Amino acid sequence: MTPNRRIAVIGAGISGLTTAYRLQEYGCDVEIFEARSQSGGRIGSSRRQGYLLEHGPHTILQRNRATRDLIDDLGLRPEVTVANEDANRRYVVRDGRPLPIPMSFDGFLQSDLLSTRAKLRLLAEPFVRPRNDDVDETLASFVERRFGPELLEYAFSPFVGGIYAGSPHRLSVRHGFRRLWELEQSGGSVSGGAVLKRLIVDRFFGADEGDDVERDLFSFKGGAGRLVERLTESLGERMHMGAAVESLHKVPGAGIWTLDGEGAAGEDRPPFDDVVWTGPTYRLADLSVDGTPIGDTDAGEVLDDVYYPPVSVVAMGVDADRVEHPLDGFGVLVPEVEPYDILGCLFISTLFPGRAPDGQALLSTFVGGARRPELAKAPDEELVDVVRDDLEDLIGLSGQPEFVDITRWPRAIPQYEVGYGRVFAAANTLEEQYSGLHLGGNFRDGIAVPDLIETATDRAQRLATRPPRFHTPLGRTA
Ligand SMILES: Cc1cc2nc3c(=O)[nH]c(=O)nc-3n(C[C@H](O)[C@H](O)[C@H](O)COP(=O)(O)OP(=O)(O)OC[C@H]3O[C@@H](n4cnc5c(N)ncnc54)[C@H](O)[C@@H]3O)c2cc1C
């Protein structure tokens, strides 16, 4: 271990915060730079009129040790709140009716969600031969090939809309749903049951850690934002807010980095041995390294092309008596083939206690994504009308909401589309080209919060424990 290693982390979302926190634990001299005046990136919670609102992720799926350890090390365990058991029930709309989505292979065969024809097709799935022609296939093509069109429309497509805000016709099964792709590649072990379990229970994601890691959907009593708040507190003066890093420079002869940018420049700041970037690719393209914007390089152009569709999150506080549906589930997802505008709606006050005042319900509706990008940008009034109209039909919502809060993410979530292998390759190229620059964040490490925590933890360990690269002119080991 090289405890005196100086490392700059750019971006204080969950990726950057976890990286910096773990580096600090390893004894590195770390500083973290965040462009906005607030840390957390996509993660943030706030309280309004007795409601606890989420602006980004509403739930986190506990599925790896790194996430569990982080919560414990931050002393957040007593604040963890596991989603109500009802969360296991998820509704998907078919012919205008929310139907519970089956959680098992047998459940699919018994469900009204699929026609008899689709069920027969599902039974034939284990006999579909794996495709091994090395084509980077879309999720839609993969699912249609293995399961038929109905399962795509009524199971995969709504989940992709709800999780990625993406389109199965654009996302790559190999890069975006690697576990699914690996299941097929592993040949004999593919069966409809296994794939469906992975799809529904593990929600497309799956870093198998064995049975000792509980797989709860959770948040914190104060909302998902507590995680980033605690990380921020524990980093103390190492955090620089309102500090957008615009350029990096290599110190001639020494091979170490200085950085510059509004709020990020520091005359007396000693240079850094390593720099870890965790922001989105469209900001990375603007970053200049030794005078050349990354976006002007071939690799940078590829990164700048990553598609981040817009998403608007419309939170509504409503009188629970004005909703006909029992709201006894995680929420309702809307397939693209159904005549509705929203991607889905989460029944937040069902999931976690204390999210709404007594007698009220809190609903969080997602609009836009790759399916309807233009709709995410609609004016507030139009957005609220669209949501109210759909919820009236789908869950029998009547009357006016008590309050409305809209969060707009103009570029919400990177889409791991077909061809995304080029993005991974471009990131590798840049790291080779600029030794000491490391790239992380959700364009590279997965989009789910636990995946980002796990990768950031690994990256911090690798950086903190790797052997010294050289000696500076002052004799300090770097
Ligand atoms: C609406 C929504 C709902 C979601 N729901 C879920 C969910 O339920 N469960 C789940 O697991 N995941 C969910 N996600 C995904 C998850 O929230 C994100 O993938 C994750 O939070 C991204 O973290 P990050 O640190 O990689 O990036 P970000 O959170 O984007 O953080 C990057 C940070 O870098 C900063 N930055 C950029 N450029 C610079 C610069 N030049 N200098 C300094 N700082 C810079 C940015 O300001 C930002 O704070 C959701 C995402 C959205 C948008």
Backbone phi, then psi, for 60, in 5-degree steps?
A: -125, 135
Domain-embedded: residue 471: no
Distance 393 CA to ligand 1 centre (A): 32
Any idea which of 75-79, 88-92, 315-319, 426-430 has the lowest mean pLDDT?
88-92
Mean pLDDT of 78-91: 91
Average pLDDT, the chain: 89
127 vs 123: CA distance, rounded Å: 9
* Domain boundaries, position 163: 87-200
Check whether residue 242 and residue 110 sit in a common domain: no
- For β-strands 6-10 and 29-33, DSSP reports them as parallel
Any idea which of 48-52, 77-81, 212-216 has the lowest mean pLDDT?
212-216
Domain-embedded: residue 71: no
Domain-embedded: residue 163: yes
Backbone phi, then psi, for 54, in 5-degree steps?
A: -110, 140
Tokens of 82: 């596991």
192 vs 123: CA distance, rounded Å: 7
Residue 110: what pLDDT? 87
Check whether residue 19 and residue 154 sit in a common domain: no
Any idea which of 71-85, 174-188, 261-275, 318-332 has the lowest mean pLDDT?
174-188
Q: Please determine, for residue 36, whether its predicted confidence score (pLDDT) is greater than 50.
A: yes
Among 359, 365, 364, which Cα is nearest to 320's? 359
Distance 453 CA to ligand 1 centre (A): 12
* Domain edge (last residue) among 391, 409, 427: 409
Check whether residue 236 and residue 143 sit in a common domain: no
Check whether residue 196 and residue 321 sit in a common domain: no
Check whether residue 320 and residue 423 sit in a common domain: no
Distance 42 CA to ligand 1 centre (A): 4
Check whether residue 100 and residue 184 sit in a common domain: yes
Distance 14 CA to ligand 1 centre (A): 7
Mean pLDDT of 365-380: 97
If one counts the domains in the chain, the total is 3
Distance 43 CA to ligand 1 centre (A): 6
Distance 344 CA to ligand 1 centre (A): 20
Domain-embedded: residue 243: yes
Distance 442 CA to ligand 1 centre (A): 7
Q: Are 101 and 92 in contact (CB under 8 A)?
A: yes
Residues 6+ apart with CB under 8 A from 250: 256, 257, 290, 434
Residue 182: what pLDDT? 81
The CA–CA distances, whole Å, from 110 to 117, 127, 196, 298 equal 13, 21, 14, 52
Domain-embedded: residue 207: no
Q: Please determine, for residue 440, whether its predicted confidence score (pLDDT) is greater than 60.
A: yes
For the domain that residue 118 is a member of, what is the CATH number?
1.10.3110.10
Q: Please determine, for residue 245, whether its predicted confidence score (pLDDT) is greater than 50.
A: yes
289 vs 247: CA distance, rounded Å: 6
Distance 96 CA to ligand 1 centre (A): 33
Residue 101: what pLDDT? 86
Q: Which residues pair with 314 in a beta bridge?
A: 365, 406
Mutate to test the pocket of ligand 1, among 14, 21, 33, 42 (most ligand atoms within 8 A of CB): 42
139 vs 417: CA distance, rounded Å: 9
Name residue, tokens 């065969």: 109
30 vs 404: CA distance, rounded Å: 40
Check whether residue 117 and residue 260 sit in a common domain: no
Tokens of 168: 């199965």
Handedness of CA 319, 344, 61, 222 (dihedral sign): negative
Q: Give 263: exposed, middle or buried? Use CB within 10 Å, 0-12, 13-18, 19+.
A: middle
Q: How many residues does the chain have?
A: 478
Mean pLDDT of 210-224: 76
Distance 118 CA to ligand 1 centre (A): 37
* Domain edge (last residue) among 130, 165, 200: 200
Taking only Cα atoms into account, the Rg of the chain, rounded to an integer number of angstroms, comes to: 23
27 vs 464: CA distance, rounded Å: 8
State the amino acid at position 432 in one-letter form: E
Domain-embedded: residue 211: no
Distance 317 CA to ligand 1 centre (A): 25
Residue 195: what pLDDT? 58
Q: What is the pLDDT of residues 259-284, one digit of tens each?
A: 998 877 777 788 999 999 999 999 99
Residue of minimum CA distance from atom 38 in ligand 1? 279
Check whether residue 172 and residue 96 sit in a common domain: yes
Among 238, 304, 241, which Cα is nearest to 11's? 241
State the amino acid at position 286 in one-letter form: D
Residue of minimum CA distance from atom 1 in ligand 1? 56
Residue of minimum CA distance from atom 26 in ligand 1? 441
Check whether residue 195 and residue 98 sit in a common domain: yes
Q: Which helix (H) or strand (E) holds 23?
A: helix 14-25
Residue of minimum CA distance from atom 34 in ligand 1? 11
Residue of minimum CA distance from atom 30 in ligand 1? 41
For the domain that residue 363 is a member of, what is the CATH number?
3.90.660.20
Mutate to test the pocket of ligand 1, among 31, 70, 416, 449 (most ligand atoms within 8 A of CB): 449
Domain-embedded: residue 96: yes
Q: Are 413 and 397 in contact (CB under 8 A)?
A: no
Q: Please determine, for residue 468, whether its predicted confidence score (pLDDT) is greater than 70.
A: no
Backbone phi, then psi, for 429, in 5-degree steps?
A: -60, -45
Check whether residue 292 and residue 159 sit in a common domain: no
Residue ranges lining ligand 1, Cβ < 6 Å: 10-16, 33-36, 41-43, 56-60, 244-245, 278-280, 283, 311, 313, 409, 412-413, 441-442, 447-449, 452
Q: What is the pLDDT of residues 312-362, one digit of tens each?
A: 999 999 999 999 999 999 999 999 999 999 999 999 999 999 999 999 999
For the domain that residue 459 is a member of, what is the CATH number?
3.50.50.60
Check whether residue 268 and residue 192 sit in a common domain: no
Among 219, 209, 213, which Cα is nearest to 68's? 213
Distance 174 CA to ligand 1 centre (A): 22
Mean pLDDT of 11-37: 97
276 vs 378: CA distance, rounded Å: 36
Domain-embedded: residue 361: yes
Q: What is the pLDDT of residues 275-309, one digit of tens each?
A: 999 999 999 999 999 999 999 999 999 999 999 99
Task: Kindly give the number of the ligand 1 atom that is closest to the alpha carbon of 43.
Answer: 21
Mean pLDDT of 354-378: 97
Residue 315: what pLDDT? 98
Mean pLDDT of 81-93: 90
Confidence band (pLDDT; 50, 70, 90) for 107?
A: confident
Among 462, 463, 410, 451, which Cα is nearest to 176's? 451
Task: Kindly give the number of the ligand 1 atom that is closest to the alpha carbon of 412.
Answer: 53
Residue of minimum CA distance from atom 4 in ligand 1? 57
Q: What is the pTM of this model?
A: 0.93
Task: Kindly give the number of the ligand 1 atom that is closest to the alpha carbon of 61.
Answer: 11
Check whether residue 292 and residue 432 sit in a common domain: yes
